[in-house]
Chain A
Amino acid sequence: MTATLAPEHTVTTTVPTPARPAVRPGAASPAALVAIEVRKSLSTRSGRALAAASALLAPTAALVVSAASDGTLGSVTGPIGVMGMLTGLVLLALGVLSTAGEWTHRTVQTTFLLTPRRGRVLAAKAVAVALLGAAFAAVSTALSVGVLALMEQGIVWDGAGQAVAAAVGAGTAFAVIGAGTGAALTNTPAALTGLYLVILGALPVVRTFEPEIGSKLDPAEAVLALAQGDAVARSVLVVAAWTVVALVAGAVVTRRRAVA
């Protein structure tokens, strides 16, 4: 370019034309798109706060509960499942922000201008939040396990491996469910409120009055069951169904919605 606007309101025009920057000729690779989406999620204060909360909230809760409780917990699988669920609920918000946040702040415009194949963008977001979800859930679970090991004498460690896997898997899946739902609703408050109302409000009510139906719908109950090694196939199916439905709904809206 040839013109420079100096900060002191002095306009200068430089004659030499700089060489064009090196520009990638083709589309960004899937790995590059995933890396961009990971950076996006962690480049805002809200994203970093959610990341920190997802890693630290559950171990902090474990610490407080262990310190305040006189009783013994019995098996470690239940507490790990609950802590994994708590972490998953935070990661749900991280996923929502990665997609609905772009619509809310209208940054989706530049995202789609530079990568107009919207399906590739959503796929990259899903992979990015899955990676972040798995990583933060792993950190959170490791810290929670550490707290339980230090604070809970005589706790039974049978099935701990499966419980840890369930907690990390829940973090991964919930982040993706958040991303899919955010993409489907394209509105951060609506997606967050809707998800939390359904998972924390509506489904517990259904579970109370229709336990059979509730257990087939509720991802929170599925995560707790998985952590304790109960109804494994059904629980995996429930979480997978939530993930697929959210992603498909997100893909349909992402593909069709005009960026006005």
Chain B
Amino acid sequence: MITVHGLTKQYGTRTVVDDVSFTLEPGTVTGFLGPNGAGKSTTMRMMTGLVPATSGTALVGGRPYVELPNPGAVVGTLLDASAVHPGRTGRAHLQLLAAAAGVPAARADEVLALVGLADAARRRVGGYSLGMRQRLGIAGALLADPPVLVFDEPANGLDPEGIRWMRDLLRGHAARGGTVLLSSHLLGEVEHTVDRLLVIGGGRIVADGSVVSLLGAEGTAVRATSPAAFAAALEAAGFAVQQGDDGALVVPGADPAAVGAVAAAGGHVLVDLRPVERALEDLFFSLTA
């Protein structure tokens, strides 16, 4: 379990992380969301002892990260995929990390295969694409198969297949009882991966809750050949109706079956009927504006 309490970082008079507190439980994937410069990376670096905190604490299993006897065995961290010597091969890089983390050198080849870089193992990292470096960074974090994963913007540079793979990896890790903290400034990247969202803006946590609780009520978007008549029918049936984009009607809180039933009862012709969620982006901007 990771417990962050009152974590604050000030550079002179500028506060970049302000009294951030949260707890990460085993078996969960937590999305750490915020625009660039919101304080995500600084928080993660304070959690892992790379940046000294001005105040507050971050404990991993009850101990500060720097006091863990072998932190690589407990926390797999990916903060900056470009933090690799370009002159080393991917394999040499991972073998050095394996030695430092105290796992057999052969593990380097295992994790290279795991992230799909087996064919590039003997190539210098300087020739890797951003996506390959990102996968190399993930491979490094997985060397000791640690229970906690802390990834900062891991989807950067990954193609859609890679993002899906990472989603499976992180969900699988949590399903095995692992703890995952995953940051992103692109909400769509993490929306289907995380159980919980921590939203940070201006250095402060502005929202903390499950995806469902933060996204709010779902609804239904519907298009009819006669929108005005159908809107009247919906209102007569007790639904609130809003005018959506491009002539669509939005019925908050209603599921498509209920809206379809009103259409069937009144003989209305529908050309589109689909569930809608409150856009994550809308939530994000409303919280961090």
Binding site for B on A (CB under 8 A): 1-7, 9-11, 13, 17-18, 20-28, 32-33, 35-36, 39-40, 43-46, 101, 105-117, 256, 258-260
Q: What CA separation (Å) do A114 and B124 show in the bound complex? A: 22
Binding site for A on B (CB under 8 A): 42, 45, 48-52, 65-66, 68-73, 77, 79-80, 82-88, 92, 96-97, 99-104, 107, 110, 113-116, 118-119, 135, 140, 142-145, 159, 161-162, 164-165, 168-169, 172-173, 175-176
A36 with B48: CB separation less than 8 A: no
Q: Which residues of A contact B69 (CB under 8 A)?
A: 25-27
Q: Which of B48, B68, B116, B142 contacts A1 (CB 8 A)?
A: B142
Nearest residue (CB) in B for A109 is B83
Q: Which residues of B contact A105 (CB under 8 A)?
A: 83-86
Nearest residue (CB) in A for B164 is A11
Cβ of A1 to closest chain B Cβ, rounded Å: 6
Q: Which of A3, A28, A260 contacts B45 (CB 8 A)?
A: A260
Nearest residue (CB) in A for B119 is A7
A107 with B169: CB separation less than 8 A: no
B99 with A25: CB separation less than 8 A: no
A23 with B66: CB separation less than 8 A: no
B70 with A24: CB separation less than 8 A: yes
Nearest residue (CB) in A for B102 is A24
Residue among B49, B66, B100, B162 with the highest chain A CB neighbour number at 10 A: B100
A-B contact pairs, 26 of them (CB 8 A): A2-B168, A2-B172, A3-B165, A3-B168, A4-B113, A5-B115, A6-B116, A11-B168, A21-B103, A23-B73, A23-B103, A24-B73, A25-B70, A26-B69, A32-B99, A39-B96, A105-B83, A107-B85, A109-B79, A113-B48, A114-B97, A114-B100, A116-B66, A116-B68, A259-B51, A260-B45
Cβ of A30 to closest chain B Cβ, rounded Å: 13
B116 with A24: CB separation less than 8 A: no
A258 with B70: CB separation less than 8 A: no
Cβ of B2 to closest chain A Cβ, rounded Å: 15
Q: Which residues of B contact A112 (CB under 8 A)?
A: 49-50
Cβ of A6 to closest chain B Cβ, rounded Å: 6
Cβ of B164 to closest chain A Cβ, rounded Å: 6
Q: Which residues of B contact A25 (CB under 8 A)?
A: 69-70, 73, 102
B168 with A13: CB separation less than 8 A: yes
Q: What CA separation (Å) do A256 and B51 show in the bound complex? A: 9
Q: Which residues of B contact A101 (CB under 8 A)?
A: 85
Cβ of B120 to closest chain A Cβ, rounded Å: 9
Closest 5 CB pairs of A and B: A24-B102, A5-B116, A2-B172, A106-B83, A116-B66
Given A105-B85, A107-B84, A109-B50, answer yes or no on A1-B45 (Cβ-Cβ < 8 Å). no
